[in-house]
């Protein structure tokens, strides 16, 4: 019985994950080799300087990346601003995101765009991914390669956040109910 539940639950999760709309791109190492070959060094230098200014840089950048990837995939949509304050960053769960995370990405973007070869060629989504990798590494964790080629999102609404959040809560509740039903003896 438990095996059937695991199979059904796993199948359901795979179906759900595959049906969620996210930004898609062909990620690869060396994506910017021809257009901005020193992007990683530029981002790393900006992140190192920011991290020396305040210790909050590492956790706030990591949390920002998590919140960005949670909603529509890692597309930097959490960075978008809405004139009506209806963007992802205005959602009550995102309002508490520390400004240092945003500032880290802005400084890295300025550093990348200061190189004429790189100006307006590197996505903010990739800069956020690289900056996160670098703050994690500079905080003492292992270095890891980041595949690049993400496309920046152009949609950022609280409504999308609410929809995905409610769907995840619904899945969680359904999982608990299924486990409870499997654990209780059934009489026919």
Pick from 54, 41, 73: which is nearest to 150 by CA? 73
Q: At what angle do helices 99-113 and 57-72 cross, to 10 degrees?
A: 90
Chain centre distance of CA 26: 16
- 134: three-class secondary structure by DSSP: helix
Catalytic residue IDs: 67
Distance CA 1, CA 182 (A): 8
Residue 123's contacts (CB-CB under 8 Å, 6 or more residues apart) are: 76, 150, 151, 152
Distance, first Cα to last Cα, the chain: 16
Written as six digits, the tokens of 83 are 């004139």
Q: Are 106 and 131 in contact (CB under 8 A)?
A: no
């Amino acid at each position: 019985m438990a095996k059937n539940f695991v199979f059904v639950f796993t199948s359901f999760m795979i179906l759900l994950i595959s049906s969620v709309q996210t930004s898609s791109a062909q990620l690869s190492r060396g994506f910017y080799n021809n257009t901005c070959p020193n992007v990683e060094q530029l981002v790393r230098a900006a992140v190192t300087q920011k991290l020396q200014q305040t210790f909050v840089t590492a956790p706030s950048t990591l949390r920002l990346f998590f919140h960005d990837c949670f909603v529509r995939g890692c597309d930097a949509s959490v960075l978008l601003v809405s004139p009506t304050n209806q963007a992802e960053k205005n959602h009550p769960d995102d309002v508490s995101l520390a400004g240092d995370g945003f500032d880290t990405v802005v400084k890295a973007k300025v550093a990348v765009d200061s190189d004429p070869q790189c100006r307006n060629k590197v996505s903010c989504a990739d800069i956020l991914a690289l900056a996160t990798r670098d703050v994690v590494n500079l905080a003492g964790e292992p270095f890891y390669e980041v595949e690049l080629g993400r496309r920046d999102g152009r949609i950022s609404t609280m409504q999308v956040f609410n929809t995905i959040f409610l769907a995840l809560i619904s899945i969680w509740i359904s999982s608990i109910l299924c486990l409870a039903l499997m654990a209780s003896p059934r009489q026919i």
